[in-house]
Structure 1
Amino acid sequence: MSVNAQSFVDSKKKPNIIYINVDDLGWMDTETYGSTFFETPNINKLAESGLKFTNGYASAANCAPSRACLISGQNTPRHGIYTVSNSDRGNTKTRKIIPIKNTVVLADKNVTLAEMLKRAGYTTGTFGKWHLGEDAKTQGFDVNVGGSHNGNPGKNGYFSPYNIKNIIDHKKGENLTDRLTQEAISFIKDNKEKPFFVYLPFYAVHTPLSTTSALEKKYSEKEGNSSKKKAIYAGMIETVDRNIGLILDEIKALNLKNTLIVFTSDNGGIRAISNQDPLRAGKGSYYEGGIRVPYIISWDGVVKPNTVSKIPITNLDFYPTFMDILNVNMPKKVLDGISILPILKGKIIKDRSLYYHFPIYLQAYNAKTDQARDPFFRTRPGSVIIDGDWKLHQYFENNEIELYNLKSDLGEKNNIVEVYPKKASELLEKLNAWRTEINAPIPTELNPKYDADFVPNKFKKNH
């Protein structure tokens, strides 16, 4: 798959790109998006310098598939990464159908975002969670610090000595978020004379929750705290925010004005840790709480400061956007997003639908707080289409349909499929057409171990 070298913009005009991907940060978990408890002054500063999206979406509701979509530029049916590890999650007696087998490593044949940027003359570095294979350097990164197949840093892993690969321990007790930021800053300094791509996928704020005793004490005593868990989580968010401030300061000190910065999360937050109201549910769910995430994009001289966009975007859009910025031509590369460069320049784009396909099971975190359809799973096999204000869920086990109008019911509380059957049919037709086009596998084989009357022991007391 070739890149037309003659189409590249002049090297001095190529923006440096920094993509900050906070792990499991919910839509409501920063001051910028409405939190009155978490403290994020540097994220506020970033928003003041750029464009905030209120209808930004991850391409999947949990870690690995969302990252695979970002890095490949392709939706889940194309790369087959639908979840973390196995697809038959939860108790087998509660699964009515056999889920589609999950892929756990992004295939090397996929021309990644980093490989595209390298071909365009960029030096590339990733600092943090990779989750798509053992080493990001096989997928276009010149430098990889801390990235492997690890989905989290493990017990006590946010403080050195670390439990993750591809990182060398320095000072005992060093914080992982601090360390990854310093590695990224060193990379920026070393490559300031040429275009660089920094992918900064912090392990924070993923579980296991861990922060300093000082930050835990601060938030434990702060008004609005509801639990020790929330206090620790707040400390992790403050640490991420402080480090984002260090990056912004370094970019300013080096006078790297032509730097495009993206701030986002890979999926929704864990509802049992941080309430995402008014959104329903959280990580692992295809209700809004699981897929709607913060997006802030700053680019001095291009993006108008302190602006807000209601146009829906997804992380599938960044691959084609960066290609558009660089005038890169890759005719054989299949992409499922669109360029949002016009939005960054203050223009509008043509309306389009967003699609999700999740032909597997994901077990419950907490039956009381998940806000799922049932207590056993955060989500069951199905697909989703978002089309303007309308959102339709289709579940494969019983071909059940849910229809919501997000403008009037952002919390997805009132299923109006019987009120608007024509709209439901219209959206289902679009969804079916998309699945056919992308060759999305639909599970149909019945699970012989399914027991409709079975209730796991931990749920019996509630039934």
Structure 2
Amino acid sequence: MKAIINLSMLACLVACQASPKEKEDAPEKPNIIVINLDDLGYGDVGAYGATALKTPNFDRLARGGLRLTSGHATSSTCTPSRFALITGSYPWRNSEAKILPGTAPLIIDTTQATIASVLKDAGYRTGVVGKWHLGLGNGHVDWNKPISPGPNQLGFDYAYIMAATQDRVPTVYIENGLVAGLEPNDPIEVSYEKNFDGEPTALTNPEMLTMKWHHGHNQSVVNGVPRIGYMKGGKKALWKDTDMADHFLTKARNFVLSNKNQPFFLYYAMQQPHVPRTPHPRFAGTTGMGPRGDAIAEADWCVGELLKTLEEQKLLEKTLIIFTSDNGPVVNDGYYDDAVEKLGKHTPSGPLRGGKYSLYEAGTRVPFITYWKGTIQPGVSDALVSQVDLPASLAALAGTRFEGKDSRDLLDVFLGKSDKGRENLVLEASGRTALRQGNWVLIPPYKGQALNRHVNIELGNAPEYQLFNLDDDIGQRQNLAKENPEKVNEMVKTLESIQGKRAGDLPELELK
């Protein structure tokens, strides 16, 4: 018996001695940074065809990495596409995945696997900096107390965020569930239903405005900017709009510096060029395109500064960077800011039709670049990919698995080792869906206005099926549905099989 015990102890000793060697031989996990811009269009980047607008740092990523020409957000608006990126699930599977007010509860179940929770379990230090817009708390949030659940309950070790968007209240930063800089004797109150007694709005006190609203943004005024929603209190916690880009950049760089000696995952969700466009004064007027162009120039600079930090810390060769945007572009989205008047020859959607809010290609096809110095060879890929594929692909990179119905492991595509992307992709715009299959796009019939007149963008609604072949018609001008009834039928069946429901607004398929 004693001999057996001694042998057991010896076996344990050998195993313990072997363990460090095994760890040493194990491949080092790369850092991962996902840079997600807000409303940046396919044509807003030099590497994707922009000439009037200069984006040297975005272009640096494209030149040194893989420029994906058919990379998509799942949706043409922010909350749904961010939901897909974080959860690996199509947003139309969740009825709450729509543009949210700043007071919305968290729309992701804390038991659901996320890109952050899976990477955290794989040994990564995880962080999110910037725009969140996926809800916070369980409803009826008290902004003066710890706010939960939120990013920290979804796998993010560190979170420095704004709750929704820059044009919505509350206009404060939230760090790990607490409003940053809040004074207890000046509590915050937020409502999207009615104003607080005596609080000024854009309608009652237009003299306070430094930015004029165009549509919908006429409630509480903060820093001279009219917002969506009403807010009271928290004066010392209010953000300064023109410092926002610098502020988020500092937090992103600090996260990198604090975690440089271990694998980290950073979701850097930038706020530009979403309205209100408030570039720092040092960028004002630099592009000649008004605040929208200047905000893009500012965002490009921020990316350059983050690259400098990685370079200084000798982390570029150890870091996979994914650069993309949450949806397509919009020029006038609620404020008079000269974006339309100063656009000139610049086309934010490039050769694509539509834009933000649209089912046409410019609604979801976005800049999509992967960069990993020394690992990804510079090139261009036409493979069909989506942000919904990032959880499964990055999990594979970390040596683990992401169990999800919609996310595909396309790591080899993102690393430039394969050109075999998705077979199909369901695209979404305000609850309406379309199907991309190969280079064919099917948009089922939908009721409603064809044009959003506020923003001058075609939405994709039509009383008949629309079928486009992007090989010959990237601008989606020639509807081929009537000439290709078999293709339409095939794609309708595919879309309905994926969604488990009838496509479009017609009671049944009718083709002549």
Q: Select between 33-42 and 211-220 the one with higher mean Cα deviation.
A: 211-220
Structure 2: which amino acid aligns with 1:280? Answer: R
What residue number does 2:362 align with? Answer: 289
What residue number does 1:336 align with? Answer: 406
What residue number does 1:393 align with? Answer: 443
Structure 1 residues 276 and 357: CA distance shift in structure 2, 3 A: closer
Q: Secondary structure at the match of 2:249?
A: helix
CA distance in 2, matches of 1:243, 1:127: 13
Structure 2: which amino acid aligns with 1:284? Answer: Y
Report whether the alignment pairs 1:39 with 2:54. yes
Report whether the alignment pairs 1:195 with 2:263. yes
Q: Deviation string for 1:248-303 (max 9, x for gaps)? A: 11111111121000000000011545642421111011101111100110112321
Report whether the alignment pairs 1:253 with 2:325. no
CA distance in 2, matches of 1:340, 1:60: 19
What residue number does 1:407 align with? Answer: 471
What residue number does 2:121 align with? Answer: 119
Report whether the alignment pairs 1:268 with 2:328. yes
Q: Secondary structure at the match of 1:45?
A: helix
Q: Over the residues paired in the alignment, what is the CA RMSD in angstroms?
A: 2.9
Q: Secondary structure at the match of 1:215?
A: coil
Query: Alignment partner for residue 489 of structure 2, among 425, 428, 431?
Result: 425
Report whether the alignment pairs 1:352 with 2:366. no
Structure 1: which amino acid aligns with 2:470? Answer: L
CA distance in 2, matches of 1:173, 1:339: 38
Q: Select between 333-342 and 44-53 the one with higher mean Cα deviation.
A: 333-342
Q: Select between 196-205 and 135-144 the one with higher mean Cα deviation.
A: 135-144
Q: Return the offset for 1:441.
A: 8.1
Q: Select between 344-353 and 406-415 the one with higher mean Cα deviation.
A: 344-353
Query: Alignment partner for residue 480 of structure 2, among 371, 395, 416?
Result: 416
Q: Secondary structure at the match of 1:385?
A: strand
* Contact 1:8 1:327 (C-alpha < 8 Å) held by counterparts: no
Provide structure 2 residue ranges, at least 5 long, that are not aligned to the other structure: 1-21, 137-149, 182-236, 333-338, 340-346, 448-461, 508-512
Structure 1 residues 327 and 172: CA distance shift in structure 2, 3 A: closer
Q: Secondary structure at the match of 2:320?
A: strand
Q: Secondary structure at the match of 2:389?
A: helix
Structure 2: which amino acid aligns with 1:254? Answer: Q
Structure 2: which amino acid aligns with 1:323? Answer: A
Query: Alignment partner for residue 165 of structure 2, among 151, 166, 173?
Result: 151
Report whether the alignment pairs 1:74 with 2:133. no
Query: How many residue pairs end up in the alignment?
Result: 383
Structure 1 residues 164 and 183: CA distance shift in structure 2, 3 A: closer
Q: Deviation string for 1:127-170 (max 9, x for gaps)? A: 1011112231121111111242x122549x9xxxx544444469
Structure 1 residues 51 and 385: CA distance shift in structure 2, 3 A: same
* Contact 2:67 2:368 (C-alpha < 8 Å) held by counterparts: yes
* Contact 2:119 2:398 (C-alpha < 8 Å) held by counterparts: no
What residue number does 2:296 align with? Answer: 237
* Contact 1:153 1:164 (C-alpha < 8 Å) held by counterparts: no
What residue number does 2:287 align with? Answer: 219
Q: Secondary structure at the match of 2:444?
A: strand
CA distance in 2, matches of 1:113, 1:327: 13
Q: Secondary structure at the match of 2:286?
A: helix
Q: TM-score, normalised on structure 2?
A: 0.69
Is the radius of gyration larger for structure 1 or structure 2? 2
* Contact 2:445 2:506 (C-alpha < 8 Å) held by counterparts: no
What residue number does 2:390 align with? Answer: 318
Q: Return the offset for 1:393.
A: 0.4
* Contact 2:364 2:427 (C-alpha < 8 Å) held by counterparts: no
Q: Deviation string for 1:388-417 (max 9, x for gaps)? A: 121100135497311111111111122121
Structure 1 residues 164 and 103: CA distance shift in structure 2, 3 A: closer
Query: Alignment partner for residue 51 of structure 1, among 51, 66, 70?
Result: 66
Q: Return the offset for 1:351.
A: 5.2
Q: Return the offset for 1:327.
A: 2.3
* Contact 2:329 2:363 (C-alpha < 8 Å) held by counterparts: yes
Q: Deviation string for 1:163-182 (max 9, x for gaps)? A: 44444469967611111111
What residue number does 2:455 align with? Answer: none
CA distance in 2, matches of 1:410, 1:9: 50
What residue number does 1:382 align with? Answer: 432
Structure 1 residues 429 and 335: CA distance shift in structure 2, 3 A: closer
Q: Secondary structure at the match of 1:232?
A: helix
Q: Deviation string for 1:351-370 (max 9, x for gaps)? A: 50111355xxx5xxxxxxxx
* Contact 2:65 2:377 (C-alpha < 8 Å) held by counterparts: yes
The structure with higher relative contact order (CA 8 Å, sep 6+) is 1
* Contact 2:97 2:107 (C-alpha < 8 Å) held by counterparts: no
Provide structure 1 residue ranges, at least 5 long, that are not aligned to the other structure: 1-6, 87-101, 221-229, 363-380, 447-463
Question: % of aligned pairs identical?
Answer: 30
Structure 1 residues 396 and 196: CA distance shift in structure 2, 3 A: same
Q: Return the offset for 1:430.
A: 1.2
CA distance in 1, matches of 2:370, 2:463: 39
CA distance in 1, matches of 2:52, 2:291: 12
